[in-house]
């Protein structure tokens, strides 16, 4: 019971991660796959930021009134990761537009079928 | 959007404040949450809002793509130039301490210029990406509006 | 302390509900809006976890730019319902279950949530927090780490954003200038193109 209560954040984050992962691999629509990837990325960010929290601390901005701060290093890493995530999403959406123009559909199995035809 | 009078009036009122807020976030990243990335995104959001409400053609007159695409590179070049300048002044690449007379002064100047470069690149890139999405005409239907 | 716990659990439960809705809903427009809501809830949880810079960026980028780009894509694609799938995905369910169980097993071994003595908070973090005041003198530690201590990573990240812009320009750029140039060069043609 103590283990469950001590890590409550992490259990829910793993659930969200697995939901996003399932959407990526099980859904056939390309846009839904991309949104599932976004979900997965955001839950990974949540995981890292949960690692960074220090109980009794505050945001890592120096001030005379506080002397315990949350861990700032994962914040920096996740800042980079968020922007990289949006860059990936923009390129992915551009690819979806071109795939639609080339194949006429954005469903994965129809694209496979069109590819197998000579 | 010609008939949405409320949208047009309110966005005309809000867009300068959004840009001002973007500049505020950029330069106050040292003292509170903020910095280059957030400021770039907010600034690009102002231009995107203008393009959505008033039409892509008006937005292109305000921020021409030829100039915006150049700014995508200018921010990155600014970042690299700061690093090269610190090399020329005797330190290693991206060692800001040699940029000023004191270590703290040099660091402040270095962080200021670097965040400015990041902000310029992010704002220009997001605006460019939006322009190219909104102005896409498709491979087979030119002449269709 | 207990209020933080309750709000944390509530927000994370909302996020779970939104994720399940994204899984089930078939209208792509609704899915886009739901993903915007998801990002916004994540930004709120970040504020609860004292990550204010990250919350700012996630709200601006996830709930702002991402939603706009997805709506632009949906309008370019022109369809907004997905097809009904005819097969039940057994293999993905198995893969996801195995991965989930492995992760849960791994998480049970981690240090407790918000533990000040966790190894993640030792090592180089006390040095950053203590020396940043004299060496750099900027109150926001996240900015000083991002721009000065780890400035090289930020250079690479700016390169990534630049590359994404170039990639989108090459993918979608073919017809952009062809449409724009006649209007710019011959303004007397009048509303054509």
Q: Where are the domains of chain B?
A: 5-134
Q: How far is CA C158 from CA A80, A89, C140, C164, in A?
A: 9, 16, 20, 10
Query: CB distance from B123 to chain C under 8 Å?
Result: no
Residue bearing the bigger pLDDT, C178 or A68: A68
CB-count exposure of residue C65 (10 Å: 0-12, 13-18, 19+): buried
**Minimum Cα–Cα distance from A104: chain C residue:** C77
**Chains with 3 or more CB pairs under 8 A to chain A:** B, C
Identify all chain C residues contacting A88, using CB atoms and an 8 Å cutoff: 164
Q: What is the pLDDT of residues C146-175, one digit of tens each?
A: 988 899 999 999 999 999 999 999 988 877
What ipTM describes this predicted complex?
A: 0.91
Identify all chain C residues contacting B138, using CB atoms and an 8 Å cutoff: 76, 175
For chain A, the domain total comes to 1
Query: CB distance from A102 to chain C under 8 Å?
Result: no
**Minimum Cα–Cα distance from A12: chain C residue:** C12
CATH number at residue A57: 1.10.287.3510
Residue C15: per-residue pLDDT: 92
CB-count exposure of residue C130 (10 Å: 0-12, 13-18, 19+): exposed
Residue B142: per-residue pLDDT: 43
Check pLDDT > 80 for residue C191: no
pLDDT lower than 70: segments of chain B: 1-3, 138-145
Q: What is the pLDDT of residues C119-142, one digit of tens each?
A: 777 788 888 888 888 888 888 889
CB A27 within 8 A of CB C96: no
* Boundaries of every domain in chain C: 1-82
Query: Mutate which of C56, C71, C145 to disrupt the B interface (most B C-beta within 10 Å)?
Result: C56
The CA distance from C62 to the nearest CA of chain B, in Å, is 11
β-pair partners for C27? C81
The CA distance from C188 to the nearest CA of chain A, in Å, is 33
CB C35 within 8 A of CB A38: yes
**Residue positions counted in chain B:** 145
Q: What is the domain extent for residue A41?
A: 2-116
Residue C179: per-residue pLDDT: 58
Check pLDDT > 60 for residue C185: no
Query: CB distance from A101 to chain B under 8 Å?
Result: yes
Chain-chain contact of A101 with B139 (C-beta, under 8 angstroms): yes
**Minimum Cα–Cα distance from A53: chain C residue:** C114
Q: How far is CA B76 from CA B89, C117, C160, C193, in A?
A: 20, 39, 10, 35
Residue A56: per-residue pLDDT: 80
The CA distance from B57 to the nearest CA of chain C, in Å, is 9
User: Distance between CA atoms of A17 and B54, rounded to whole angstroms?
Assistant: 40
- Residue C26 corresponds to which tokens in the numbers above? 């078939």
Query: CB distance from C68 to chain B under 8 Å?
Result: yes
Q: What is the pLDDT of residues C72-122, one digit of tens each?
A: 999 888 766 666 666 677 888 999 999 999 998 888 888 877 777 777 777
Query: CB distance from B132 to chain A under 8 Å?
Result: yes
Q: C190: pLDDT confidence band, cut at 50, 70 and 90? A: very low
**Burial call A38-65: b when 16+ CB within 10 Å, e when fewer:** bbbbbbbbbbbbbbbbbeebebbbbeee
Query: CB distance from A3 to chain C under 8 Å?
Result: yes
Query: Which positions 147-176 of C are in contact with B (Cβ < 8 Å)?
Result: 147-148, 151-152, 154-155, 158-159, 161-162, 164-166, 168-169, 172-176
């Amino acid at each position: 019971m103590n283990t469950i209560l001590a890590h409550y954040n992490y259990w829910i984050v793993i659930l969200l991660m697995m939901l996003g992962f399932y959407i990526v691999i099980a859904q056939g629509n390309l846009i839904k796959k991309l949104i599932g990837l976004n979900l997965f990325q955001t839950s990974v960010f949540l995981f890292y930021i949960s690692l960074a929290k220090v109980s009794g601390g505050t945001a890592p901005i120096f001030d005379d009134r506080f002397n315990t701060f949350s861990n700032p290093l994962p914040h920096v890493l996740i800042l980079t990761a968020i922007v990289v995530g949006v860059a990936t999403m923009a390129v992915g959406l551009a690819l979806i537009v071109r795939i639609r123009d080339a194949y006429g559909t954005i469903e994965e199995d129809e694209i496979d079928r069109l590819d197998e035809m000579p | 959007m010609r008939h949405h009078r409320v949208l047009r009036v309110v966005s005309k009122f809000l867009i300068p404040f959004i840009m001002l807020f973007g500049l505020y976030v950029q330069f106050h990243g040292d003292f509170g949450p903020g910095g280059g990335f957030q400021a770039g995104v907010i600034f690009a959001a102002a231009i995107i809002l203008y393009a959505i409400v008033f039409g892509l053609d008006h937005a292109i007159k305000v921020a021409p793509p030829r100039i915006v695409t150049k700014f995508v590179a200018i921010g990155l070049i600014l970042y690299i130039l700061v690093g090269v300048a610190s090399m020329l002044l005797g330190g290693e690449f991206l060692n800001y301490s040699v940029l000023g007379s004191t270590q703290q002064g040099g660091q402040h100047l270095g962080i200021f210029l670097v965040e400015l470069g990041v902000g310029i690149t992010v704002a220009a890139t997001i605006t460019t990406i939006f322009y190219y999405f909104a102005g896409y005409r498709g491979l087979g239907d030119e002449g269709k509006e | 302390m207990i209020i933080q716990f309750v709000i944390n659990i509530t927000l994370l439960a909302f996020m779970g509900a939104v994720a399940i809705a994204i899984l089930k809903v078939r209208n792509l427009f609704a899915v886009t809006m739901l993903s915007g809501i998801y990002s916004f809830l994540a930004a709120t949880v970040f504020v609860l976890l004292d990550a204010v810079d990250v919350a700012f960026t996630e709200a601006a980028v996830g709930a702002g730019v991402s939603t706009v780009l997805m709506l632009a894509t949906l309008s370019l694609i022109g369809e907004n319902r997905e097809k009904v799938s005819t097969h039940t995905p057994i293999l993905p369910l198995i893969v996801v279950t195995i991965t989930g169980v492995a992760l849960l097993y791994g998480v049970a071994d981690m240090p407790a949530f918000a533990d000040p003595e966790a190894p993640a908070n030792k090592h180089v973090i006390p040095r950053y927090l203590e020396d940043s005041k004299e060496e750099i003198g900027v109150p926001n530690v996240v900015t000083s780490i991002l721009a000065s201590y780890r400035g090289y990573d930020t250079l690479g990240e700016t390169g990534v954003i630049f590359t994404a812009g170039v990639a989108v320009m090459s993918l979608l750029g073919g017809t952009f200038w062809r449409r724009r140039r006649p209007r710019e060069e011959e303004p007397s043609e009048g509303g054509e193109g």
